[in-house]
Structure 1
């Protein structure tokens, strides 16, 4: 498996957990995401973007660049993911996908769902929050979580056949409309298992405070 980290421009918290997660991965930086490389002990093999948000070129000195036009249909993050896929990525970690501009965070979640539906393993992690797109295949998917960790299921459509185990508020095969907020602010009692028959959603998990 070729595991890649894509460094995006949102804020990060370089916790031991995040450092351990990115260790040993190949790295592509998207524009201002290059700023996270030093804090995480990483050296990207490629730096992509229109470079409208990273004024200090010295930060990425010696790293191969793919310069993109400012007016384009794709975001720098999308093109960083595409570059990783072209290099054989089968597993992708997005770092710096949360915080910053809300529209950017939303687009990263949508892109993550799209990549998961294309059959790629994808995760988002900034040191304090982790997220995984859910595969609507009717099979249980297990996510490691410490007892007491807060999590939410962010819906991007109506959901059907949703079950949640290992939580203070479990669910069993329910159907939920997009407008429902029933899946917000749950609490793990240990590893969380989610099953989804149809729909689009992302599991957002708060990191264990003990590992910050």
Structure 2
């Protein structure tokens, strides 16, 4: 059974835009323009998407180290802290004396990210941004992505940046327009690397926790209410934004979930690798 975390006095937290720094081994790279006084490794090679500045920062275990390296001081630290040293905590306490520490036992029934998202949900946030560099154990990475699709998390106004992918959970009854994905999906020069030409990103739709029924628009291969996307199905793999007609603006991809829960994942790819195949 999960052991309850004692709730200490809570500082005054502004839930307008909650950033959650995940504790994955690899540090996140912010995928948008950040203030120039931040360390170079925290800057992004692309100026999109446009995210508002955080009003509340939650660090998930090792996420405290990642956030600090990028010049941010978390308001809240959540987790069992098995990947955080005493010196890291001491520096954080000095920088944020009134910060909230929600320490959980190592033996528990939920991951640190799951617990952090539960906490973020209690704030009634207007926006939640999860920042993760990914990496590490495959089971941890899969669990983190699937965790985003839990119904209670999917109902949050949540966008996750995992490595160079964008992950959006979409709950039953919700419609999400994905304009922030358009630069990733259709811009040939997004995320340039060493002058190489980059292919447009791909968009994958995965049903989580059971089958899902959804309607899409603005994609090359759209789904209708007559289609069922089974859990674990590869049918939603490697979609892409529909090209705009000459002289027009591309329609933002739009996903409406009629039943079930869907996780949308937009990822970059190297044009030379030819990885756009749906096989």
Q: CA deviation at 1:44?
A: 0.2
Equivalent residue in structure 2 for 1:74, among 85, 103, 110: 110
1:90–1:48 Cα change, 3 Å: same
Matched, 1:133 2:169: yes
The structure carrying a bigger strand percent of its residues is: 1
Give the aligned length.
206
Matched, 1:142 2:177: yes
Q: CA deviation at 1:181?
A: 1.0
Aligned to 1:89: 125
Larger relative CO (CA 8 A, sep 6+): 1 or 2?
1
Matched, 1:14 2:61: no
TM-score, with structure 1 as normaliser: 0.81
1:185, 1:69 → 2: CA distance? 39
Q: CA deviation at 1:197?
A: 1.3
Aligned to 1:199: 260
Matched, 1:166 2:166: no
1:124–1:97 Cα change, 3 Å: farther
Q: Deviation digits for residues 25-74 of structure 1, max 9, x if unmatched?
A: 31011111112213433210122222211236336612433332211222
Equivalent residue in structure 1 for 2:54, among 16, 24, 28: 24
Matched, 1:33 2:63: yes
User: What secondary structure, in the 3-state scheme, does the structure 2 residue paired with 1:89 have?
Assistant: coil
Moved more, 44-53 or 173-182: 173-182
Moved more, 180-189 or 59-68: 59-68
Unaligned 5+ segments in structure 2 are: 1-14, 35-49, 187-199, 243-249, 271-279
1:136, 1:101 → 2: CA distance? 30
1:192–1:12 Cα change, 3 Å: farther
1:21–1:36 Cα change, 3 Å: farther
Unaligned 5+ segments in structure 1 are: none
Question: Cα RMSD (Å) of the superposition?
Answer: 2.8
Kindly name which structure, 1 or 2, has the bigger radius of gyration based on alpha carbons.
2
Q: Deviation digits for residues 120-179 of structure 1, max 9, x if unmatched?
A: 222211351111111221x6421022313211012222122x222222222233123335
Q: CA deviation at 1:203?
A: 0.3
2:71, 2:256 → 1: CA distance? 36
Is the Cα contact below 8 Å between 1:18 and 1:126 reproduced in 2? no
1:155–1:87 Cα change, 3 Å: closer
2:131, 2:139 → 1: CA distance? 16
2:161, 2:259 → 1: CA distance? 25
